[in-house]
Amino acid sequence: MKPNKVVKLLSYMLVALVAGAAGGYLATLSLEKPAPEVETKYTVINITGSIEDVVNLAYNRVSPSVVHITSTVLRRGFFFEVIPQRGTGSGIVVTKDGYVLTNNHVIENADEIEVTLSSGESYEAELIGSDPANDIAVIKILNPPENLEVAPLGDSSTLRVGDLVIAIGNPFGLDRTATMGIVSSLNRSIRSEHGYIMEGLIQTDASINPGNSGGPLVNSRGEVIGINTAILTTSGGSIGIGFAIPINKAKVIMERMIQEDREIKRRPWLGITGITVTEELARVLNLPVKEGAMVVEVVPGSPADKAGLRGGEVQVIYRGYILTIGGDIIVEIDGEKVASMEELVEIISSKQVGQEIEITFVRGGEVMTTRAKLGGRK
Q: Which residues are catalytic?
A: 105, 135, 213
Cβ atoms 227, 101 nearer than 8 A: yes
Give ∠ CA 69-72-78 in degrees, rounded to 5. 160
Give ∠ CA 182-90-72 in degrees, rounded to 5. 150
Q: What residues contact residue 135 under an 8 Å CB cut-off, 6+ apart?
A: 103, 104, 105, 192, 196, 198, 229, 230, 245
Integer angstrom CA distances of residue 254 from 112, 199, 251: 21, 17, 5
Q: Which of 143, 269, 151, 278 has the alpha carbon at shortest distance from 219?
A: 151
**DSSP letter string, 99-129:** EEEE-HHHHTT-SEEEEE-TTS-EEEEEEEE
**DSSP letter string, 30-82:** --SS--TT--S--PPP--B--HHHHHHHHHHHHGGGEEEEEEEEEEE-TTS-E
Q: Which of 123, 159, 127, 161 has the alpha carbon at shortest distance from 142?
A: 123
Cα distance between residue 92 and residue 168, in whole Å: 10
Cα distance between residue 344 and residue 358, in whole Å: 13
In degrees and rounded to multiples of 5, residue 47 shows phi and psi of -90, 115
Annotate 310-326 with b (16+ C-beta within 10 A) or e (fewer).
Answer: bbbeeeeeeeeeebbbb
Cα distance between residue 68 and residue 215, in whole Å: 9
